[in-house]
Amino acid sequence: MNIDVLKVIPRAFRAKGCLVTLTIFVRALLNFVGLAALLPVLYLILDIDAVHTNPIAQRVYDGLGFTSDKAFVVVVAVAMVVLIVVKNLLGLLLYRVERDYIYSLYRYLSRNLYIDYFNRGLSFIKSSNSAVLARNVNVVCYTFVSGVLRPMAAIFSELMLFVMLFAAITIYSPLAAVLSMAIFIPALWLYFTLVRQRVNRYGRTENEAQRRKSRDVIETYRGYADIKINNAFGRMLESFDRNVDTIVSVGAKNATVATLPHTITEVGLAVGMALLVSLSVFVESSDMKMIFGVFAVAALRLLPSIRAIMGSWTSLRYNKYAIKIIRDASISTKRKAENDSAERLDFRKEIRVEGLSFRFADSDHDTLHDLTFSIAKGERIGINGRSGAGKTTLFNLLLGLYEPTAGAIYIDGEPLSATNCRKWQNSIGYVSQSVFLTDSTLLANIALGCREEEIDMERVERAVRMASLDEFVRELPKGLESRIGECGALLSGGQRQRIGIARALYKQAEVLFFDEATSALDNETEQSINHSIEALSQADSTLTIVVIAHRESSLSYCDRVITLK
């Protein structure tokens, strides 16, 4: 698993990971020092005469000029407290390095996964489940750093402390060390044997159920009207309940597993102390008190370490699925967000389509084959054809959202490619059948992609007038600052389309693409939108308009109609 984790961690974070490893080791060393500071106090409590019988204690006593045993004991106790306080302060400072590393890695992975999914293009987005993608970006990356990396760091730290403690105990009291191992190693073996495979399965099952549950919720609200009319909510609720039951069941089992470290280690401690007490009955030795005390102190500090190791190991196994998801996304190298340059591709003459073919990756035939035509600047072009003829696919190619399988699209003789696609998209506007609207204000939706402080209000108002939205805006309680609901839920179909037109006009697009923008509207609203589009063309003879429509009546204002067969 460590190799898999290393593959997921980006190269830029691996060097700093070495520093984090060092801080973990130092923190373990500080914890050991803190525990060691307790031993002199324990030694003095169990045997006050040790002040003079122990050579080291005697040298310290004489060197500091003490004349009172009680004063010496008090000073040792205070020194122990000061040392513990300093140790914990240093530990907190070192922990900040680990904490900052983990959360900066989370930010890096989540951001890069978000960018990576976006950069994979429209084909990938359409073929994927949006609930799964959202969960991977929002949840899985955090699960990786909090449920895999953090437990790994905890295991490493506690193992270091465990080794140092065991070495110290072995040097001071081999009997206490042997007894500790005889108690805790079987306990660890028993725990790992009982839960290893189960915890793996629990994690995978919980993640899959969470995905299905998220999908159920998103689809229920997205398709509310259809679900309501078709009385399908009961079936959706059944699926939701099944997934919640799975999550609850797995969570309950995992919660039970989480209690085992406490139970097992506590029983082990009780057994160890019982053995020492029994041994002291049969073996008379002046050292038995000290051995018992050393074992008790060591065991009380070893117990949290062993519990932490067990708990962290369980968390690591439970969240192991996150490693594969992030590794499969191949985001170990930094992803660049799409260029947000406002530079445009100069369009003066024509859009030329030559020998254009396109085939989807999972298809055995071309959706479009050897298509050739041209669109002159200022023309109004209609595109129609039967369902499945490839009209929307053609649009996605013209918009630069798909890459042709064969042939090319030329803008004034320059082939449309990855290098100039952003410039071309800056020059065009797009109004789909279902206009994308964010859950924000009308203003933010018209000036989509613009920072609030950069919005040109004069351009917005002009776009609103040209899209025939001005009367609607005046009726809104807060005007352009009114919120329009998720996906424009508070708007009519015609209003949504006009917002799409206003958005394209605000952008000052040179080419407007309408993808069946009026097909879902009633006849009166459709005619009104069509008249608005025609008026836009008449107001600006250089504006190029390309429209997809099923009904030929919707293309009556076009100069030419291209029919796909």
Amino acid making up residue 466: M
Measured in degrees and rounded to the nearest 5, phi and psi for residue 511 equal -130, 130
Q: Which of 347, 517, 348, 491 is nearest to 428 (CA)?
A: 347
Q: Which structure tokens are listed for 498? A: 């006009």
Q: Report the 10 Å Cβ neighbour count for 291.
A: 20
For residue 300, name the pLDDT band (cuts at 50, 70, 90): low
Average pLDDT along the chain: 78
Q: What angle do CA 456, 457, 458 make, to 5 degrees?
A: 95
Give CATH 3.40.50.300 domain extents, the chain: 350-564
Measured in degrees and rounded to the nearest 5, phi and psi for residue 385 equal 150, 170
Distance between CA 151 and CA 157 in Å, rounded?
10
Distance between CA 202 and CA 249 in Å, rounded?
9
Q: Which structure tokens are listed for 484? A: 């329009």
For residue 391, name the pLDDT band (cuts at 50, 70, 90): confident
For 350-564, CATH number out of 3.40.50.300, 3.30.70.580, 3.40.1010.10, 1.10.1050.10 equals 3.40.50.300
Amino acid making up residue 171: I
Give the per-residue pLDDT at 442.
85
Q: Do residues 395 and 433 make contact, with C-beta atoms less than 8 angstroms apart? A: no
pLDDT by residue (tens digit) across 156-181?
888 887 777 777 777 766 766 676 67
Give the per-residue pLDDT at 351.
92
Partners of 354 in the β-ladder? 408
Q: Report the 10 Å Cβ neighbour count for 36.
A: 15
45 has a pLDDT exceeding 70: no
Q: Which of 301, 202, 192 is nearest to 252 (CA)?
A: 202
3-state helix, strand, coil in the chain (%, to 5): 65, 10, 25
- pTM comes to 0.71
Distance between CA 247 and CA 234 in Å, rounded?
20
Measured in degrees and rounded to the nearest 5, phi and psi for residue 358 equal -150, 135
pLDDT by residue (tens digit) across 233-286?
777 788 888 888 888 888 787 777 767 766 666 676 666 666 666 665 555 555
pLDDT by residue (tens digit) across 332-341?
555 555 556 7
Q: Which structure tokens are listed for 294? A: 């050393």
Classify domain 2-329 by CATH number.
1.20.1560.10
Give CATH 1.20.1560.10 domain extents, the chain: 2-329
